[in-house]
Amino acid sequence: MRDFILEMIDSASQMALQYREVLADLRVGHKSTKDFVTEADQAIERLLRDKVMKHFPDHVFFGEEYGEHGTGHHRWIVDPIDGTSSFVFGQPFFSISIAYEVDGVVEWGAVHAPVLKETFIAQRGHGVTLNDKPIKVSDRNEMNQAIMGTGFACLRSDLEKNNIPYIVEILPNICDIRRLGSAALDLAFVAAGRLDGFWELNLNIYDIAAGKLLIEEAGGKVSDFQGTTLKDCAQIFASNGLLHEPMLALFAKV
């Protein structure tokens, strides 16, 4: 399975980079006023769906752009370009996210950053690697030294309950924040110890399915803002584990 996932990543990455070379000519549309979609997103998803359907015709494929195809116990959850805004603006922080689940449990997760040439991949119970080298979450345990990632899907959706109050509460209590624009890549960075945690509201399963497994296999923790098991994507908080409770206390103040 690992070799097949890496083959998918390689093909998708090559296509993404080819589209990136012709950004000026790329057809760009909008899912909503603030949410981009490009022909690259759609073409990469079709490529990945075709590969899965060819090798595993009895599997389900669920992608951001075209939804779910098929029924069964095995499902692929794919975001062909997570961070489309970054992609459209020629920035490097976008990723391809692929998760493979069996009976609702993600068994493999991979996040690949084409421009950075970095592949994060995990198998449940077998740890996580970055370009074939094992990685783990940070060991930072002081909030005032922590760097957290976040994002603003809630603002793109014009939700009344959004991330601004959380920023106001959290930022004075930590060292700094980072905003990469790709939730999947943010989660991969937590797994690699480059971020101490990441929170966001109003994400989707294809944004987090792979990244959640990366963090768990790297020794971190993932929950909602109340610290309970993640049941949907309305809230997600991922951390190195050591800073989980202090951040939950800040969430509770909002």
* Residue 231: per-residue pLDDT: 84
Q: Is the pLDDT of residue 92 over 80?
A: yes
Question: Can you give the residue ranges of every domain in the chain?
Answer: 2-133, 143-253
* Residue 158: per-residue pLDDT: 64
Cα 135 from chain centroid (whole Å): 17
pLDDT band at 233 (very low <50, low <70, confident <90, very high): confident
- The pairing of strands 35-38 and 128-130 is unpaired
pLDDT > 70: percent of the chain: 94
* Residue 35: per-residue pLDDT: 56
Q: Is the pLDDT of residue 155 over 90?
A: no
For the 143-253 domain, the top CATH level (class) is: alpha beta
Q: 184 and 235 in contact (C-beta within 8 Å)?
A: no
Q: What is the pLDDT of residues 24-81, one digit of tens each?
A: 677 777 655 555 678 999 999 999 999 999 999 999 999 999 999 998 999 999 999 9
Give the CATH number of domain 2-133; options: 3.40.50.740, 3.40.50.150, 3.40.50.300, 3.30.540.10. 3.30.540.10
Taking residues 103-107, what's their average pLDDT?
97
Q: How far, in Å, CA of 96 to CA of 151, rounded?
A: 17
Residue 249 CA: distances (Å) to CA of 78, 205, 238, 252, 254 = 33, 25, 14, 5, 9
Taking residues 177-200, what's their average pLDDT?
97
Looking up tokens 């991330």 gives 163
**Side chain identity at residue 238, one-letter code:** A
pLDDT band at 154 (very low <50, low <70, confident <90, very high): low
Of 96, 207, 221, nearest in space to 157 by CA: 207
Q: How far, in Å, CA of 26 to CA of 191, rounded?
A: 33
Q: What is the pLDDT of residues 118-140, one digit of tens each?
A: 999 999 999 999 999 999 999 99
Q: 240 and 222 in contact (C-beta within 8 Å)?
A: no
pLDDT band at 160 (very low <50, low <70, confident <90, very high): low
Domains 2-133 and 143-253 share a fold: no
Over the chain, what is the mean pLDDT?
93
